[in-house]
Chain A
Amino acid sequence: MIEEGLLTSALRDAADVFDVSEGAVERILEVARNAEDRAPSRAVQFARHPHRGRTLLAAVAVVAALGGIALPLMNKGTAPLHAFGGLPPLTGRATSSHGAPKFDASTSPNSTQSSASGNEGLAVTGTGFAPNAAAGTVGPRIESSGSITLRVKGTGVETSFARLSALAAKDGGSVSSSQARFANRSTGHFAYGTIVLRVPQGRFGALVTQVQRVGHATSLTTSSNDVTSQYVDLRARISAQEASRRQYLAIMSRAGSISAVLAVQRQLDTIQSQIEQLQGQLNVLDNQTTYGLLSVHVTTAASVPLVVRHRSGLAKAWHDAVAGFVAGFEWLVRLSGPLVFAVLLLGALLLAAWAVRRALRHRRT
């Protein structure tokens, strides 16, 4: 049986001597403050206003039912599920200017993603992400990436690549990679290609806007991710490891035997390896948050041939009939989802209202 006093002193030797991370208390208080600020207000008390609560429930039920049916139908053909709420909503702030949808990348608080497709002009405005962390203090670290598909005329892939490269260079960036495929090797022109541009975070939004002017933007996806917490965590771990290394060096200077020196040296080697590993991760994160990557897919109109088949009158009529049948069936299937949801929602709300009413009646009696 191990002696209790020895156990106590050994545990204290192991744990008591290191200093806890500086600023940890403030960090916890800050987290608590933010969490409390985000907590929903507890001021709403339905029980004190039963009639108002029932009215509100009924109003919500009607609005949800009507909205559930109307919204998918209104957005027929253009990603109806987004509007219906079946998928997570876009978290970036969508604004409109001159009839063209815009995505303000600078308003993304954490991990945001935005995508758009169609023939309208697409614009991303970025007033610039926060600058990189200065030494000592860590500002917001945000990694951004995006993808745009451009359609250009004729043999414009080479020209577009040149213009895109120039745009990146003008914004202080560079071309990270590019690849293209020949339409016909004899002509020497490319049918389509992809170029990946790398620009400083602060210029990412502006670059996206400029890139869309190079051709006809048919789709756009951008995303930004706040990795500040990971960045801070990595830095804290490196600091802790460096503190440990200093302490081991102090121990080594007091070591009286070769075996003790070797034991401490082993620990030092392990710490050094971990510091290098963490530093590598920090460098990767630093690189990702310093530059944004924009992947531009450029296609020519000729690379997507439009095949027009001329049919006889009877064949065309048959084809139209089949298409009409399929379209009608699709419409029915599309409608069934919102209807089922609306029915379920109404049922749930009615059930809740019934339960509230029953509880109130029970209380009165």
Chain B
Amino acid sequence: MLDISTKKRGQVGGPVDLSDLEQWLTLRYPQSVRTAYLIVGNRPDAEDAVQEAYLRAWRFRDTLDDASSFSPWLYRILVNACNSKLRSEIPHRDRRHSADQLESVASSDDPTSRFALSRDVMNALSALPTHLRVVVVLRYYADLSEREIAAAIGRQPGTVKSRLHEARRRLAEHPAIRSHAAESTTSGEAVQ
């Protein structure tokens, strides 16, 4: 749990206290960038969105009353920043930087196979509508519970559940996943 006991603003005119922000960034920045990357589809925009989200969170830290809800609160701001990127900026240029879509796959028993699977999943993920992509990333990458996701996106847990179901169904039907499933069936891998 993050310590947000010092989240209230300091005295006017005193030195700027950035300890809260520094603590958040130290603990959460890499995870946030990767989450944003999976949502927006490329690293520069992900880093922009995360920077914007953290600055916004820090600016409005007074609005957070319950320390236990910090994580969903921060994810909510991050998701909003990503949505803002997707809505306003990225549509004006190429959204998917294919070069960014996959990096290396370290310590794998079969690097090329995992590489191919990961690429296929990313392709399928990028084809999902944003509202479905967000819940998939928050559930299966950020490892939030359905209740936390609901708080992060401002919807009911039931909505999250149905969106996750719909997202998984669409992912499975995506041609990239289907072709991968067909290939792995012959080699014994499991893609249902």
Contact = CB atoms under 8 A, between A and B. Distances in A.
A20 B177 contact: no
A267 B118 CA distance: 14
B43 A260 contact: no
A74 interface: no
Nearest to B192: A3
Interface stretch (B76-84, B135-143, B145-153): B135-143
B22 A8 contact: no
B38 A15 contact: yes
B50 to A, nearest CB: 8
Contacts of B120: 10
B117 interface: yes
Contact of B44 (A42, A240, A264): A240
A247 B103 contact: yes
Given A2-B171, A41-B13, A25 B190 contact: no
B147 to A, nearest CB: 17
Contacts of B103: 14, 17-18, 244, 247
Specify the main secondary structure of chain B where it touches its partner.
helix
A35 interface: yes
B172 interface: yes
Nearest to B137: A11
Given A241-B99, A267-B102, A24 B118 contact: no
A364 interface: no
Contacts of B102: 13-14, 267
Contacts of A264: 115
A256 B112 contact: yes
Interface string B1-29: 00000000000110010100110011001
A82 B99 CA distance: 50
A240 B46 CA distance: 13
B68 interface: no
B121 A32 contact: no
Interface in A37-58: 37, 41-43
A110 to B, nearest CB: 19
Nearest to A272: B99
Contacts of A15: 34-35, 37-38, 141
Interface in A247-275: 247-248, 250-251, 254-257, 260, 263-264, 267, 270-271, 274
A28 B140 contact: no
Given A7-B168, A25-B26, A41 B116 contact: no
A18 B97 CA distance: 15
B118 A18 contact: no
A27 B21 CA distance: 12
Nearest to B104: A247
Contacts of B37: 15
B23 to A, nearest CB: 11
B171 A240 contact: no
A13 B121 CA distance: 10
B100 interface: yes
A14 B121 contact: yes
Contacts of B47: 20-21, 24
Contacts of A35: 55, 59
A1 B51 contact: no
B70 interface: no
B114 interface: yes
Interface of B: 12-13, 16, 18, 21-22, 25-26, 29-30, 33-35, 37-38, 43-44, 47, 51, 54-55, 58-59, 97-106, 108, 110-112, 114-122, 125, 136-137, 140-141, 168-169, 171-172, 177, 190-192
